Amino acid sequence: MLVKKVKLLQLFTYEVLINVFKNRNANFFFSVNGRPNITTISKVELKKILCFTMPFFGYTATQENTQSNIDKKPNIKDKLAEADRLFLEDKYEDVVNILEEYKNLNDEQVLWRIGRAYYNMSRCEKNCGDKRKNLIMNAHELIKKALSINPNIFEVQKWAAVLIDEYCSIIGIKERIKSLEIVKSHMERALELNPKDPTIRYMIGYWCYSVADMPWYQRQIASSIFGATLPTATYEEALEHFKSAETLQPLFYSKNLLMLGKTLLKMESKFSAEYYLKMVTQYPAKTVDDLEAKKEADKILKSSFGYY
């Protein structure tokens, strides 16, 4: 699941933070550098703030290399090929239906595909609340099983990163924080297994951008509540991955172009940022992701470049 309106959320939470400080006159004071001292706020208040501000690291599935190294009965191979075809047609329930009978064969190729289908089903508007939670939890169990069978498959590692992140976001903020490094390790292993896949480059780039973009007060809050030290990353690292993804497969994903623009804007390279953001607005909108990317690019071009 990708971040929506990150800047607005951060501005909102910063205002919440300031309001909390203002309402605690007796206990509120500023540190030497002028930033609020968060140690004076109660853990309940901190949790309320943090639940609005933690970024969401997600991945919207695009077309990927689904070649199987499975060497079993032809009918299973045929089912896997049919499942991949149905997945690309967004028929996720059909994918589950045709692979369900093979779920107990302890075959990692079957397991990660069903997990991937469950994840995409969870993103449908009709699947919300407990239904969405159950889909993610089932997908998480399947990918854990696939990892235990064979961790040396690109798709298993890639979907482990996606599903562990989603699962931890359901469990709670503490688990999400603890999982950040684990999620990255799965992405990096996937990259080792298939360095030519652009989507894993996008995922790592997005992780780096989200961590780099995390405000100081989120880090201090996480430390105050959970005693956790959040990982670090830079916009330069994010940019490297987004550019590598585009080199591997130009124009493969509208949101990779969007993130190139946003990252370059953060690095104050406005000319290049404008170039990529304009590319997003001209990108053929075929999916929900494309429409979201266009909308965000339009907004940035208006606010940062004066487009109307």
pLDDT at 222: 83
Amino acid at 158: K
Is 165 contained in some domain?
no
Number of domains in the chain: 1
Give the model confidence (pLDDT) of 272-291 as tens digits: 999 999 999 999 998 888 99
- Bigger pLDDT: 65 vs 55: 65
- Check pLDDT > 50 for residue 94: yes
Is 44 contained in some domain?
yes
Q: Buried b / exposed e across 260-286, counting CB within 10 Å, b at 16+?
A: bbbbbbeeeeeeebbebbbbbbebeee
At residue 217 the predicted structure's pLDDT band, cuts being 50, 70 and 90, is confident
Give CA–CA dist 175/169, Å, rounded. 7
Query: Phi, psi (5° rounding) for residue 30?
Result: -100, 150
As a 3-state breakdown, the chain gives helix, strand, coil percent values, each rounded to 5, of 70, 0, 30
Give the model confidence (pLDDT) of 265-276 as tens digits: 999 999 999 999
pLDDT at 64: 56
Q: What percent of the chain has pLDDT over 90?
A: 62
Segment 167-189 shows an average pLDDT of 92
Is 10 contained in some domain?
yes
Is 25 contained in some domain?
yes
pLDDT at 148: 97
Is 58 contained in some domain?
no
Segment 7-23 shows an average pLDDT of 42
Segment 203-222 shows an average pLDDT of 92
Give the model confidence (pLDDT) of 144-164 as tens digits: 999 999 999 999 999 999 999
At residue 209 the predicted structure's pLDDT band, cuts being 50, 70 and 90, is very high
Nearest to 253 by CA among 290, 296, 208, 294: 290
Tokens of 185: 């390790």
- Check pLDDT > 60 for residue 123: yes
Query: Which residues span the domain enclosing 26?
Result: 6-53
Q: Which residues touch 210 (CB under 8 Å, ≥6 apart)?
A: 3, 6, 55, 57
Is 23 contained in some domain?
yes
| Cα→Cα distances 187→26, 148, 153, 173, 201, Å | 46, 17, 12, 21, 9
**Quick check: 108 and 156 in contact, CB under 8 A?**
yes
pLDDT at 173: 84
pLDDT at 4: 40
Nearest to 148 by CA among 138, 161, 157: 157
- Check pLDDT > 50 for residue 40: no
Is 49 contained in some domain?
yes
Amino acid at 51: C
At residue 125 the predicted structure's pLDDT band, cuts being 50, 70 and 90, is confident
Segment 207-222 shows an average pLDDT of 91
Is 20 contained in some domain?
yes
| Cα→Cα distances 12→7, 43, 104, 299, Å | 8, 19, 47, 18
Q: What percent of the chain has pLDDT over 70?
A: 76
- Check pLDDT > 60 for residue 119: yes
